Structure 1
Amino acid sequence: MRKNEMGIGDIIVESLTIFGMILYLGLQMFYICRYPIHGMTMVFHFLAVLLLYGGMMVLQCHPEFLNGRGSEPLTGKVRIYAVRMVRLCKFLIVYGILVPSMADVMGMSIDEAYSLIVMAGVLAVIAYYIYRIYQYNKEEEKNKKKKK
């Protein structure tokens, strides 16, 4: 999806995700300055999140990788749905790691079920968009049969 094709909702979600990522990295820096942490732990905190965010950005820019490396390019609504799915999953994952980080800095603890709730949200987004893609493909097949 090109930037000129993004709706206001897409722009808001993308902006909030970037803000959340910057806030998470800032909180990690605060946590590192406040408490003595081994250097490798610091690298693992940043590296894991940056690789995850980078991977999601690649999938968002090239959703064809969702089908497999050598597959045909996604077109039409399938591409739009795939990009939106990746964007919303990225949003949920970033805020899913931001909330425990904020709680950690404030000295609070998060219930163990929190990570399950975040994963359920990600899976719900994936299921919703897979269903939308399935519906779209089914409708396209029906339209092709009518034209013949």
Structure 2
Amino acid sequence: MDMTIDAIDARVVPPVALAYTKALTLPHLASAVRPRFLVLQPNGSLNQANSSDFQHGLESILEQATDGVIVDLLWVGSLDAYGIAALVAGIQRATALGKQMLFQALDAKSRLALEIEWAQQQESSVGAWKHTFSSNLEAFLDNFTHG
């Protein structure tokens, strides 16, 4: 899988190309010139054969950007469950680092699969959310909305 990595900085209008690579290696950047966002643009299929390498590369560039990573999936022809799992692992890593992970050109089917997998991961780590309130709060809300 080929990938392009670009850096975006709010002070620079056009993105600055940092690397074009097959192995997703990015030279470590000096802290003074670290980009705010890195754009990762995989090309081809994101599947069982390459999702592990993609995930490691994604986590690596999350470490190098100060604010986060934009994953542009425009050139991804197919995305299977392993690819979705790699993206979810990236979201988890970004969350742990306090950074953003944004997606571009994610088709509706893949987006739904990603949302379902993310919800399942959240439920397994923190438990199912219950949407119940105490009876006092329910009574207050009823009185407030209905007079």
TM-score, structure 2 length as denominator? Answer: 0.23
More helix by share: 1
More strand by share: 2
TM-score, structure 1 length as denominator? Answer: 0.23
